[in-house]
Structure 1
Amino acid sequence: MAIRRAKQKAQVIEKLSQVAPPGETFIACVHVETGPSPWLNAVFDEVPLLGLIVALTRQFYFLTLTNSSIVVNSASRWTNRPGDVVAVFPRHAFPVSRVKRASIWSSMYLQLPTSGKPTRLNIHRYWRAELDQLSTAFPPGSIDAASQPFELAPQGMPYAAPQGQPFPQQQQQQPYPAPPAQPYPPQGQPYPQQQPYPAPPAQPYPPQGQPYPQQQPYPAPPAQPYPPQGQPYPQQQPYGGQPGYPAQR
C-alpha cells in the first residue's frame, strides 16, 4: 500500500503514461474522496452502522493536471493504487465549482460524466501544495467567497489555458470616458494671458512720499467783540431803565 505522496504520484504517472499522447507533461496529482465532510465522521460513528455505511460509500480518485487536460482516475480504497480513467477534461473546460480551500479539509464540486449532478470532493491538507497547482485550471467564478486564497491562482484570477493555445477571449471593456477639458496649459507651456484687472478708482490721497495738496484756508474769524488783553473796556452807556421805572443812580 502506497502511503507517501511521491510514491502515489509515481504510480499515477506510470499508469497514465501508457495512454497519454506523445509530449504530454504531468504537472500535479491530487488525491480526493467523495461524500459529506469528513468532519462529520465522529457524528456518524455515534449511530450504529451509520459510520461504516458512510465510509463504504465514499469513493476515491486522483485528479492529474497535465499541460493540456485534467485526468480523473479511480483509486483503490485499500492500496491507493490508480485504476481506470473515469474522465478527461480540457484545461479550459474543467467543470468544477464551489471550490473552498480550508485549513484541514478543502472541498470542491466536480461534474462527473457518470453522475447527474456535481459530486463533492474532499481534499486533505496533506495534498494542499498539489491543490494549489491544480487551481490554475479553475474557471473564473468557481472559487467560493469564503475560500482561503490559493498561492498559485488567487481568487478572481483567470485560469490558465492549455499549452500552445491562446487564452479565451475576455469581454472587451468599455473605454474610459475622455477627461474634461484641461483648464491649465500643458506642462512647460506658458499660461494664457489673462485680462487686466480694471483700473483702481481715483486715488483720493497723494502717493506715498508726495506732499498733500494745498488746502483752502479757513474763513477769517468774526470781529473780536472784546478789546485785546490789557486794553480798557470801552465806555458803556448807562442803563436807562425800563418804562415805568426810574433810572438807577
Structure 2
Amino acid sequence: MAIRRAKQKAQVIEKLSQVAPPGEAFIACVHVETGPSPWLNAVFDEVPLLGLIVALTRRFYFLTLTNSSVVVNTASRWTNRPGDVVAVYPRHAFPVSQVKRASLWSRMYLQLPGEAKPTRLNIHRYWRAEMDQLSAAFPPGSIDPSSQPFELAPQGQPYPLQQAYPMAPGQPYPQPQGQPYPPQQAYPAPPQPYPAPKGQPYVPPQGQPYPSQQPYPPQGQPYPPQQPYPAPQGQPYPPQR
C-alpha cells in the first residue's frame, strides 16, 4: 500500500504514461474522495452502522493536471493504486465549481460523466499544495468567495477571477489591497481677486478699468448738455430735423 504522497504520484504518472499522447507533461496530482464532508464522520459514527455505510459508499480518485488536460483516475480504497481513466477534460473546459480551499478539508464539485449532477470531492490538507497547482485549470467564477487564497499556483498562470456577491445599490466597490485609487482631478476654479483690505478702495485688475460714470448734478441744477459724437471725416451726419 502506497502511503507517501510522492509514491502515489509516481504510480499515477506511470499509469498515465502508458496511454498519454507524446509530449504530455505531468504537473500535479491530487487525491480526492467523494461523499459528504468528512467533518461529519463523528456524527455518523454515533448512529449504528451509519458510519460504516458512509465510508463504504465513498469513492476515491486521482486528479492529474497536465500541460493540456485534467485526467481523472479511480483510486483503490485499500492500496491507493491508480485504476482506470474515467474522464479526460481539456484544461480550458474543466467542469468544476464551488471550489473552497480550507485549513483541513477542502472541497469542490466536479461533473463526472454519467452523473446527473456534480459530485462533491473532498481534499485533505495533505494534498493542499497539489490542489494549489490544480487551481490553474479552475474556470472563472468557480472559486467560492469564502475560499482561502491559493498560494502555490504555477508561475505565469494567474488565478481566475473570483465571483463576488452583488453589492447593494449605492455601495462603493471595494478597494484592492496595495492598489489605491488614483486621485480625482478637479476642474480648475476661475481666478478670484483677493478682497481689498478694509478701509481701502478696491483696485480693479489692470486692463479692465471700470467704465466712467457721469456724476449726478447737485439738486436743483440741470444736467450738463451731452456732447455729440464726432462725425467721421468726410462723412458728416445729415442734419437732424
Shared fold by TM > 0.5? yes
Partners of 2:22 and 2:206 in 1: CA distance: 82
CA distance in 2, matches of 1:114, 1:26: 26
Counterpart in the other structure of 1:171: none
How many angstroms does 1:183 deviate by? 6.8
Aligned residue number for residue 69 of structure 2: 69
Q: Following superposition of structure 1 onto structure 2, how do residues 45-60 of structure 1 map, counting pairs within 5 Å?
A: 45-60=45-60
Once superposed, which parts of structure 1, at least 4 consecutive aligned residues long, lie more than 3 Å away?
Answer: none
Once the two structures are superposed, the pairs formed by residues 42-191 of structure 1 within 5 Å of their partners are 42-151=42-151, 152=153, 154=159, 156=161
Letter in 2 for 1:3: I
CA deviation map 1:152-175 (0-9, x unaligned)? 254617xxxxxxxxxxxxxxxxxx
Specify the structure having the higher radius of gyration (Cα). 1
Residues in 1 aligned to 2:27 and 2:132: alpha-carbon distance in whole angstroms: 11
Percent of aligned pairs sharing the same letter: 82
Structure 1 distance, partners of 2:144, 2:21, is 34
SS in 1 for 2:20: coil
Looking at structure 2, the residues matched to 88 and 96 of structure 1 have their Cα atoms a distance apart, in angstroms, of: 13
- Give the number of aligned pairs: 172
Task: State how far apart, in whole Å, the 2-side matches of 1:200 and 1:67 are.
Answer: 81
**Cα distance in 2 for residues equivalent to 1:196 and 1:107:** 77
SS in 2 for 1:43: helix
Q: Distance in 1 between matches of 2:207 and 2:137?
A: 69
Please give the per-residue CA displacement for 1:187-208, whole angstroms capped at 9, x wherever unaligned. xxxxxxxx95522689xxxxxx
Residue deviations 1:78-102, cap 9 Å, x none?
0000000000000000000000000
Q: What's the offset of the Cα at 1:76?
A: 0.1
Partner SS for 1:107: strand
Q: Partners of 1:5 and 1:54 in 2: how far apart?
A: 25
Shift in Å, 1:136: 0.4
What displacement does 1:41 show? 0.1
Q: Structure 2 CA distance, aligned partners of 1:147 and 1:183?
A: 46
8 Å CA contact 2:138, 2:160 repeated in 1: no
Is the 2:25–2:66 contact (alpha carbons within 8 Å) kept by the matching residues of 1? yes
Q: Is the 8 A contact 2:8 2:80 kept in 1?
A: yes
Tell me which of 190, 198, 215 is aligned to 2:208.
198
| 1:139 partner SS | coil
* Separation in 2, partners of 1:197, 1:77: 96
Counterpart contact for 2:74–2:84, Cα < 8 Å: yes
Cα deviation code 1:34-59 (max 9, x no counterpart)? 00000000000000000000000000
Give the Å deviation of 1:114: 2.5
- TM (normalized to structure 2)? 0.67
Aligned residue in 2 for 1:25: 25
Unaligned runs of 5+ in 1: 158-179, 185-194, 203-249
- The answer to whether the 8 A contact 1:149-1:155 is kept is no
TM-score after normalising by structure 1: 0.65
CA distance in 2, matches of 1:149, 1:155: 11
* Equivalence for 1:8: 8
Asked whether the equivalents of residues 35 and 121 of structure 1 are also in contact (C-alpha less than 8 Å), the reply is: yes
Which amino acid counterpart does residue 47 of structure 2 have in structure 1? V
Gaps of 5+ in 2: 163-184, 190-204, 213-241
